[in-house]
Amino acid sequence: MNDLDDLVQALTAVLEARGYRFTTGLPGLEVLPLWRVAQPDFLLPVLLRLAEEFWRSETRGAGFGLRIEPDDLSLTGFTATGLYHVPLSVALLAIDAVLCRMADAQGAVTFDALVSYAKKVTT
């Protein structure tokens, strides 16, 4: 199993380096902190699941070996608890590829773009 703490740190660094911004449209909280976006109980489960779908469609390969468990206290209702069959580097590259498809020219990712992309690739 890959260490999720390592994934969280690496993903936060990638998000910062690539200039992504997760916008909410909420006054006072227009942009989410990137360290929070990468947390296992925040958007990481969604990003990993979308990255897994991207990986499967592009490589016709196997899944990531994700373990995502229900969690009533998390943002999405799920928490990422394991990543087993893929190196962290592949997961990060796949997440970045997904975000490139969702972000606008300035690197902003909206919840609408996230939902729209998720519906497109999972239906």
- pLDDT recorded at residue 123: 72
Task: Give one word for 68, left, alpha or beta, with left for phi > 0 and alpha for psi -120 to 50.
Answer: beta
Q: What pLDDT band is residue 1 in, cutting at 50, 70 and 90?
A: low
Residues 6+ apart with CB under 8 A from 59: none
pLDDT tens digits along 38-93: 999 999 999 999 999 999 989 887 789 899 999 999 999 999 999 998 999 999 99
- pLDDT recorded at residue 109: 97
Look at residue 104 and tell me whether its pLDDT is greater than 70.
yes
Domains of the chain: which residue ranges?
4-122
Mean pLDDT computed over 18-43: 95
Q: What pLDDT band is residue 3 in, cutting at 50, 70 and 90?
A: confident
- pLDDT recorded at residue 63: 84
Average pLDDT taken over every residue of the chain:
93
Cα gap 36→13, rounded to integer Å? 12
Cα gap 32→38, rounded to integer Å? 10
Q: DSSP 3-state assignment of 7?
A: helix
